[in-house]
Amino acid sequence: MGHTESGDELKMDQPQPPSTEDWQPHIVAFCCNWCAYAGADLAGMNRRQYAPNMRIIRVMCSGRVASGMILQAFVSGADGVMVLGCHPGDCHYRVGNKFAEQRVQQVHELLSLAGIDPSRLLLQWISAAEGELFGRTVDSFVNQIKALGPMGVEE
C-alpha cells in the first residue's frame, strides 16, 4: 500500500477490488493420483488445452482430502476448489471416494452457513482414461466461477 501527501495530511491509498473484466479466478484442484491426476496427464499428452488458472495438488486418494484442506484453499485465496477422484467402485483404496463425497457434502453445508455459494466447490469423478473429460470439467468450472465473480464479492 502506498500513500499520498496532501498538504499536512497523510492518506493511505485504499486497495481496489479486482475489475471483473480482467479478473481471472484462482482454482485449486485436489486430484487423486491414480485417476484424476492421470487424466490430467492424459489431457496434456493429447495436447488438450484447458484453462491455465488452476493449480493441481496431487493426493494419493480423494478420500484423503480433509475438510480443512478445502477450507484452507478458500482462506488462502482460491475462488473455487475441485476435488477430482476415481469413479465409484474404481477407488484404489476401495472406499476413498465415498469419504470424499461425504466430506464435500459437509463442506457444501459449511459454505452455505458462511454465506458462500456452495457451487464454488466441485466434486467430480474422472478416470485415468478421461483426459478430455478432465479438460471439459476444468473449463466448465472456471467459467462457472467467472460467472460468480471474485470470492467475497457476492457473498
The CB-side HSE value for 64 (13 A sphere, CA atoms) comes to 13
Residue 31 vs residue 17, higher pLDDT: 31
pLDDT at 122: 98
pLDDT at 138: 97
Domain boundaries, the chain: 25-145
> What percent of the chain has pLDDT above 70?
85
Neighbour-count burial for 41-57, b at 16+ CB within 10 Å, e otherwise: ebbeeeebebbeebebe
Topology classification of domain 25-145: Rossmann fold (3.40.50)
Grid coordinates 475438510 are at which residue? 67
Alpha-carbon distance 124 to 140, whole Å? Answer: 12
Entry pTM:
0.86
pLDDT at 101: 97
pLDDT at 22: 84
Tens digits of per-residue pLDDT, 103-132? 999 999 999 999 999 999 999 999 999 999
Q: Are the C-beta atoms of 50 and 22 separated by less than 8 Å?
A: no
Q: Quick check: 21 pLDDT over 80?
A: no
Tens digits of per-residue pLDDT, 93-102? 999 999 999 9
Alpha-carbon distance 122 to 142, whole Å? Answer: 11
